[in-house]
Amino acid sequence: AQRVTQPEKLLSVFKGAPVELKCNYSYSGSPELFWYVQYSRQRLQLLLRHISRESIKGFTADLNKGETSFHLKKPFAQEEDSAMYYCALNSGGSNYKLTFGKGTLLTVNP
């Protein structure tokens, strides 16, 4: 069965510090992975996806098939990065239904 694990429910860092939000997955097929973010009082929105290999708001994530991981990283955290972050796996083939992790609440302190 498909599964996404985000081991940290809460993560707190100081402004300017590096941040890494962990995501591990289990999936028998070829994975397609996403990071979604939910800022306070806003809707869930896509942050980035592995297939794009892009950096959004300074965040990057690399798919490591050997370790079955898709960790989200940013070298210098900003206060506006404080939000709930969800890692998600396309587990539905062409249907593109998403399997989400439980999320990590990131707090960036001044």
Partner 1 sequence: DTGVSQNPRHKITKRGQNVTFRCDPISEHNRLYWYRQTLGQGPEFLTYFQNEAQLEKSRLLSDRFSAERPKGSFSTLEIQRTEQGDSAMYLCASSSGRYNQPQHFGDGTRLSIL
User: Minimum Å distance from CB 30 to partner 1?
Assistant: 12
Q: Does 49 bind partner 1 (CB under 8 A)?
A: yes
Nearer of residues 17 and 46 to partner 1, judged by Cβ? 46
Binding part of the chain for partner 1, among 22-30, 56-64, 67-75, 91-99 by CB under 8 A, reads: 91-99
* φ/ψ of residue 79, rounded to 5: -60, -35
d(CA 16, CA 103): 22
79 dihedral zone (left: phi>0; alpha: psi -120 to 50; beta): alpha
Binding site for partner 1 (CB under 8 A): 4, 9, 32, 34, 36, 43-46, 49, 51, 86, 88, 90, 92, 95-103
